[in-house]
């Protein structure tokens, strides 16, 4: 069996396991939680938990703040699937675990993928522990998870990305933020591969290129999701200023600490937005 054939089999089997676990429920929205934002899953009612280890081909996670479990249930009355963690491309060169995770959602008839992440701000106006609606992205990872053999059963070889971060869904997020009086910035997210944080020179480059925040995730998931027909919307939780823009020392522990400070607004925003996204 080739790698591609094994991937197809994993998506099919994981989709069957997930569908069985849902027991007749059919959530149309899935949420991938970024570093320090896993607490949202604790608010799920009528929760059913499936560890990634029980889903063939799903990633094995190694980063603190990423639990590695799928939780399905109700959030503010809306059926959802919440994924507690992702595989980053600073952990691996293998795109298949992430592709399996996203494509399994599609196999389970999910229609919208909400992406969240911890990010560094490049703008003085976007402060630490605040939220930024992702309006577009710049892929500076040096890779695309869709490189290689294309399977037409998932999506076309070539596909557009002009509306990668769905404008209509993004507007619904903005409406929910305004209603809840939660400050919500808008901006372009630029993905670096990591695991090292960016240098001050790289931060200056990112600013010149038009980025408003930087991180190490979300872009690969967006690419995979758009390829297989999922709509994508997303929010960054700002955990630090970019290198050279403040005196703070950048560490992963620092990222988790500041993500926790912004988690309350993030959870409140998502809870308010879900009924709008589900319409």
216 is catalytic: yes
The two tokens of residue 195 are 């695991």
254 is catalytic: no
- The pLDDT of residue 251: 75
Which of 116, 117, 121, 217 is the catalytic position?
A: 217
35 is catalytic: yes
Domain of residue 250 covers 3-277
Query: In the chain, pLDDT over 70 holds for what percent of residues?
Result: 96
91 is catalytic: yes
- The pLDDT of residue 64: 56
129 is catalytic: no
Cα–Cα distance measured from residue 176 to residue 152, given in angstroms and rounded to the nearest whole number: 37
How many Cα atoms sit within 13 Å of 164 on the Cβ side?
Answer: 23
264 is catalytic: no
The pLDDT tens digits of the residues spanning 175-234 come to: 999 999 999 999 999 999 999 999 999 999 999 999 999 999 999 999 999 999 999 999
Cα–Cα distance measured from residue 189 to residue 167, given in angstroms and rounded to the nearest whole number: 15
189 is catalytic: no
- The pLDDT of residue 259: 65
Which of 10, 35, 121, 129 is the catalytic position?
A: 35
Which of 90, 144, 150, 254 is the catalytic position?
A: 90
Cα–Cα distance measured from residue 74 to residue 78, given in angstroms and rounded to the nearest whole number: 5
Which of 139, 252, 267, 271 is the catalytic position?
A: 252
pTM of the model: 0.94
- The pLDDT of residue 1: 80
From 271, 244, 211, 272, select the one nearest 41 (Cα to Cα).
271
Q: How confident is the model over 9-21, as a mean pLDDT?
A: 96
Task: Tell me the CATH number at 42.
Answer: 3.40.50.1580
258 is catalytic: no
| Average pLDDT over all residues of the chain | 93
252 is catalytic: yes
Q: How confident is the model over 79-103, as a mean pLDDT?
A: 94
90 is catalytic: yes
| Number of domains observed in the structure of the chain | 1
From 231, 232, 238, 206, select the one nearest 139 (Cα to Cα).
206
Which of 88, 137, 185, 227 is the catalytic position?
A: 88
Which of 10, 30, 41, 91 is the catalytic position?
A: 91
- The pLDDT of residue 249: 74
């Amino acid at each position: 069996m080739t790698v591609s054939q094994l991937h197809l089999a994993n998506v099919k089997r994981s989709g069957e396991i997930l569908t069985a676990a849902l027991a007749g429920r059919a959530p149309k929205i899935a949420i991938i939680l970024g570093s320090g934002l896993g607490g949202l899953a604790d608010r799920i009612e009528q929760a059913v938990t499936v560890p990634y280890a029980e889903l063939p081909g799903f990633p094995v996670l190694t980063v603190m703040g990423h639990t590695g479990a799928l939780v399905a249930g109700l959030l503010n009355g809306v059926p959802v699937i919440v994924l507690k963690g992702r595989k980053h491309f600073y952990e691996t060169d293998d795109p298949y675990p992430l592709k399996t995770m996203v494509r399994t959602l599609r196999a389970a008839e999910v229609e919208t993928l909400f992406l969240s992440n911890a990010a560094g701000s490049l703008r003085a106006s976007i402060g630490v522990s605040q939220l930024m609606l992702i309006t577009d992205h710049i892929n500076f990872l040096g890779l695309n998870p869709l490189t290689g053999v294309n399977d037409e059963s998932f999506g076309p070889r070539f596909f557009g990305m002009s509306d990668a971060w769905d404008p209509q869904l993004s507007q619904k997020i903005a409406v929910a933020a305004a209603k809840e009086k939660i400050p919500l910035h808008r901006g372009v997210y630029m993905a670096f591969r990591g695991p090292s944080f960016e240098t001050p020179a790289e931060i200056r480059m990112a600013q010149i290129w038009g980025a408003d925040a930087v991180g190490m995730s979300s872009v690969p998931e967006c690419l995979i999701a758009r390829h297989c027909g999922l709509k994508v919307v997303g929010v960054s939780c700002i955990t630090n200023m970019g290198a050279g823009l403040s005196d703070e020392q950048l560490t992963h522990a620092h990222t988790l600490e500041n993500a926790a400070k912004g988690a309350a607004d993030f959870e409140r925003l998502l809870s308010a937005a879900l009924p709008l996204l589900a319409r």
